[in-house]
Structure 1
Amino acid sequence: MLYLLSIFSFFLANVPNPDAPKKTNLTVEVHNVRVFTGAVYVAIFKPGKDFPEGKPIEGKKVDASHERVQIAFSVEPGEYAIAVYHDENSNGKMDKRIFGIPKEPFGFSNDFRPKLSAPKFSDCEVKVGDSGKTVRIKLEKMSG
């Protein structure tokens, strides 16, 4: 009897939930990795006040081992903004100069390049549909 209950509970646990939100793939390709040390961090944000300095809905890192690295996320279709930086010295943070200017390479979705202040969500917004999306971001290092 216990055996039958175990089988029954296995099947119930694997029945798809029709109310669960549908997920799709969001692939982020990061180009222009120039130094093959440290890690590339990718953070994705939903619309709101958190972008780009706040808490992302998800973040991942990958070793900076090639000129181009790729990271995949499973997300609900919708609007997102993406922030990326290359932690060249592996200290776990984005190193900055005076006035908060990044010392390490960084990038945003839509390859948005901020001039005097951090970007707004709308500057970097990408729409992810049911069939997924691939976003390419080129790392840049500010001179100075």
Structure 2
Amino acid sequence: MLLSLGLAASPSRAAELVIDIEDVGSQKGRLTAFVYDSAEGWDGGRPVVPLQRVYPDGGTRLQARFTGLAPGRYAVVVLHDTNANGRFDVSALGIPKDDYGFSNNPVLFGRPGFDRIAFELPADGARISVRMK
């Protein structure tokens, strides 16, 4: 399944970001891709562009596409709300019940900082892979 979100493109805002979402475990619920352009936005939960929702279609790979982005430094998080309750579920100990993935696919022991998951988006765009955990 492919979902695309276009923004008003101008010469300085013309890059495309394609996110290949891999290892989708459940075919229930919805996945949401968030794109952040700063540590402040990441820490404050303020994505730089509207989020995208992608729905499982029977496969283990999905794709989200953001167009019209300014070249620069970004970070991506994908959350899979498997029971479609509108929130990311965790246990009483804070262990995620829902699947998640980050750009750069870091090995995690807690929430990563922006610098750990950030990547450069050049003017001619980029394709990244996010593995769900």
The root-mean-square deviation of aligned C-alpha atoms, in Å, is: 1.8
> Which runs of no fewer than 5 residues in structure 2 stay unpaired?
1-8
Tell me the CA shift for residue 22 of structure 1. Answer: 2.6
Are 1:60 and 2:52 counterparts? yes
Are 1:88 and 2:79 counterparts? no
Q: How many residues align?
A: 122
For 1:50 and 1:42, locate their aligned partners in 2 and report how far apart those are by CA, in whole Å. 15
8 Å Cα contact 2:54-2:62 kept in structure 1: yes
TM-score (structure 1 length as normaliser)? 0.78
8 Å Cα contact 1:52-1:118 kept in structure 2: no
* Larger Rg, first or second structure (1 or 2): 1
TM-score (structure 2 length as normaliser)? 0.84
1:44-59 alignment to 2 at 5 Å?
44-51=35-42, 54-58=45-49, 59=51
| 1:22-77 residue CA offsets vs partner (Å, 9 max, x unmatched) | 31100111000111111111000011223266121121111012210001002111
If asked which structure has higher relative contact order (CA below 8 Å, sep 6+), I would say: 2
For 2:95 and 2:41, locate their aligned partners in 1 and report how far apart those are by CA, in whole Å. 19
For 2:29 and 2:53, locate their aligned partners in 1 and report how far apart those are by CA, in whole Å. 10
For 1:54 and 1:39, locate their aligned partners in 2 and report how far apart those are by CA, in whole Å. 19
8 Å Cα contact 1:79-1:127 kept in structure 2: yes
Give % identity: 25
Counterpart in the other structure of 2:114: 121
Structure 1 residue ranges (4+ consecutive) displaced by more than 3 angstroms after TM superposition: none
Counterpart in the other structure of 2:6: none
In terms of fraction of residues, the more strand-rich structure is: 2
